[in-house]
Amino acid sequence: MVSLKDVAQSCGVSVATVSKALNGQQDIGEATRERILTAAKEMGYTANVMARALKTNRTYNIGILYADLQNSGFMHEYFASMLNSFRYEAESCGYDITFINSDFGHTGASYLQHARYRRVEGVALICADFLDPMVQELVYSDLPVITLDHAFDNRAAVLSDNTHGIEELVRYVYEKGHRCIAYIHGNPTAVTERRLTGFYRACEALGIEVPQEYVVSCEYHEPVSCHEATKRLLALPQRPSCIFFPDDYAYIGGFNAITEAGLRVPEDVSAVGYDGIHLAKVISPRLTTWQQNTDELGREAAARLIERIEHPRTVLPEHLVVRGSLLEGESVKQL
């Protein structure tokens, strides 16, 4: 196995200089760093993680709390993509991943107890009921934590700009001539609250009146629930010309309800989704939606959590907002 000493001898530098280059420290020249990194790669050097952990008394292990509220497992493309980019960033920094559960092994343990049992150095809360006392116990413990799409006081968070995304979608359909706009929102969460605020804010700014019956709820990522909500909107005396759906996957149920009513998208009813998953790009007609930047969300969450772990005294628990982009499809008719 190639050692640090082998790389140092090959480059004509000290072992300490090689270590600095491999660990991204800034007190060596860029040319020297590049030379060392190239040599290490060509020689097939890999860090001895076990030796590093024994020497530093650290585990280099990060916990992920993914309490799947919709029981969709890793088939939920939004979370799957985010988890993948999180994993890639963490592993590139030399960290392993452990999923944190409650009652693991039927022991009655909490999230925090499981995290301590697995000796994780920090936890990313990717999907959870943030009002759950066990979640709050973990958040306000002495472990470094970061949350996705939910912000706690004095705790780091990475947030998708849900308010801005909905506002941009409202402006888009307004420019297409729509004034009778309905919104099917997901179950009550901080994300839902931000999107609803963005919806009402944009409609008010554009002079669009939103009847109370135009705003209904269903479950996120649940086509059956969305199907029923869509049927209620279509049964109104004046049906909306455009319906906002809670997410791209739930839209399948809405599309079926529209079709069952003898209507077409977008000829009779226009539709807008949210998330920008692959499905939106391949269904017909292609769905106009807001594409969340899951790669950046996951990557930033991992990077900022690791920063908190490695520099606990100098890193502030800031809230980073990540913006997405409009993905224009064929589901909004020009009136």
Phi first, then psi: give them for residue 122, nearest 5 degrees: -170, 165
CA–CA separation, 251 and 270 (whole Å): 12
My answer on whether 88 and 27 are in the same domain is no
**Res. 17: pLDDT tops 80:** yes
CA–CA separation, 147 and 139 (whole Å): 9
Structure tokens at 240: 């909306």
My answer on whether 281 and 195 are in the same domain is yes
Question: Range of 250's domain?
Answer: 162-292
Domain assignment of residue 54, yes or no: no
**Domains: count for the chain:** 3
Identify which of 304, 269, 314, 275 has the alpha carbon closest to the alpha carbon of residue 291: 275
Q: Could you tell me the end-to-end alpha-carbon distance of the chain, in angstroms, rounded to an integer?
A: 68
pLDDT value of residue 106: 62
Vertex 17 angle, CA 12 and 22, to 5°: 110
pLDDT value of residue 74: 62
My answer on whether 27 and 112 are in the same domain is no
CA–CA separation, 282 and 248 (whole Å): 12
My answer on whether 152 and 167 are in the same domain is no
Q: What is the separation of C-alpha 300 from the centre of its chain, rounded to a whole number of angstroms?
A: 10
My answer on whether 177 and 276 are in the same domain is yes
Domain assignment of residue 120, yes or no: yes
What's the whole-number mean pLDDT along residues 142-165? 94
My answer on whether 156 and 167 are in the same domain is no
CA–CA separation, 32 and 152 (whole Å): 42
Q: Which tens digit of pLDDT belongs to each residue from 25-36?
A: 767 888 888 898
CATH number at residue 79: 3.40.50.2300
pLDDT value of residue 53: 61
What's the whole-number mean pLDDT along residues 124-145? 93
- Give just the sign of the alpha carbon dihedral 70, 72, 73, 75: negative
What is this structure's pTM? 0.81
Do 115 and 59 meet the contact criterion of CB atoms below 8 Å apart? Answer: no
CA–CA separation, 40 and 5 (whole Å): 11
Question: What is the DSSP annotation of 28-95?
Answer: S-HHHHHHHHHHHHHHT----HHHHHHHHT---EEEEEE--TT--GGG-HHHHHHHHHHHHHHHHTT-
Chain position carrying tokens 């309800």: 257
What's the whole-number mean pLDDT along residues 22-46? 82
For residue 220, the 8-state DSSP code is T
What is the CB-side half-sphere exposure of residue 98 using CA atoms within 13 A? 19
Can you name the residues that pair with 145 across neighbouring β-strands? 123
pLDDT value of residue 75: 67
What is the overall mean pLDDT for the chain? 90
Q: Which tens digit of pLDDT belongs to each residue from 76-133?
A: 788 889 999 999 999 888 899 999 987 665 667 899 999 999 999 999 999 888 999 9
My answer on whether 172 and 270 are in the same domain is yes
Beta strands in the chain (DSSP E): 61-66, 96-100, 122-127, 145-148, 156-160, 181-185, 215-217, 242-244, 270-272, 289-291, 319-322, 325-327
My answer on whether 270 and 202 are in the same domain is yes
My answer on whether 299 and 156 are in the same domain is yes
pLDDT value of residue 71: 59
My answer on whether 38 and 181 are in the same domain is no
Do 253 and 283 meet the contact criterion of CB atoms below 8 Å apart? Answer: no
My answer on whether 30 and 91 are in the same domain is no
Domain assignment of residue 311, yes or no: yes
Identify which of 322, 254, 325 has the alpha carbon closest to the alpha carbon of residue 283: 254
3-state class percentages of the chain: helix first, strand second, coil last, to nearest 5: 45, 15, 40
Fill in the amino acid letter for 270. S
Edge-to-edge strand list for the sheet holding 270-272: 215-217, 181-185, 242-244, 270-272
H or E element, residue 289: strand 289-291
My answer on whether 200 and 239 are in the same domain is yes
